[in-house]
């Protein structure tokens, strides 16, 4: 190795850190964004750079790990290089508390309005349109949506009988 290479290696070694994981550690998996490809629900630069967390099942080699991938990623090989992984630090705020949904046989559920939170009339040039803010079942008040009053009256007449 020449002097220039040795100097460059010393600069890089300052930044380099050895990555090692234990079996059972949760890790994120790096996914490379590809131009024009819809991956994980988003396209292009808005697609996530890391997905997961996934559990490490075993260490395959000095720098390769086998992950427990969900069935949705069954087409992806489950062994990854250590540079493709990032340690997941558990945080209690990442836990999402949810209420169980009543699912149909086709794994869908029906959104039902609970009550009207507010009313508003938008005036255009020569007509007025009435809107209502609707609180939906299985959603919080922050997720209430503005809907046209005539559509809500048509679909859910019992909601506007007040």
Residue 7 domain flag: no
Q: How many domains does the chain have?
A: 2
Indicate the pTM of the whole model: 0.50
> Could you write out the DSSP letters of every residue in 98-120?
-PPP---TTS-----EEEEEEEE
d(CA 40, CA 146): 29
d(CA 89, CA 86): 9
What CATH number is given to the structural domain containing 64? 2.30.30
pLDDT in tens, the chain (162 residues): 789 999 998 888 887 777 889 999 999 988 765 554 445 555 556 667 788 889 999 999 998 999 998 887 777 889 999 988 999 988 777 766 666 666 666 666 778 888 899 999 999 888 999 999 999 887 788 888 999 999 988 988 888 775
Q: Which structural domain range is residue 141 located in?
A: 113-160
């Amino acid at each position: 190795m020449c002097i220039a290479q040795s100097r460059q290696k010393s600069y890089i070694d300052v930044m380099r850190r050895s990555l090692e994981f234990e079996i059972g550690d949760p890790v994120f998996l790096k996914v490379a964004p590809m131009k024009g490809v819809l991956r994980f629900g988003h396209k292009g630069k808005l697609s996530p750079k890391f997905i997961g967390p996934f559990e490490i099942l075993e260490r395959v080699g000095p720098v390769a790990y086998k992950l427990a991938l969900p069935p949705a990623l069954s087409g992806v090989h489950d062994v990854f290089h250590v540079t493709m992984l990032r340690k997941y630090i558990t945080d209690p705020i990442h836990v999402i508390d949810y209420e169980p949904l009543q699912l149909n046989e086709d794994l869908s559920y029906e959104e039902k309005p609970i009550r009207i939170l507010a009313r508003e009339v938008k005036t255009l040039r020569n007509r007025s349109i009435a809107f209502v803010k609707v609180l939906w079942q299985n959603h919080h008040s922050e997720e209430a949506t503005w809907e046209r009053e005539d559509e809500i009256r048509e679909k859910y007449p019992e909601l506007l009988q007040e």
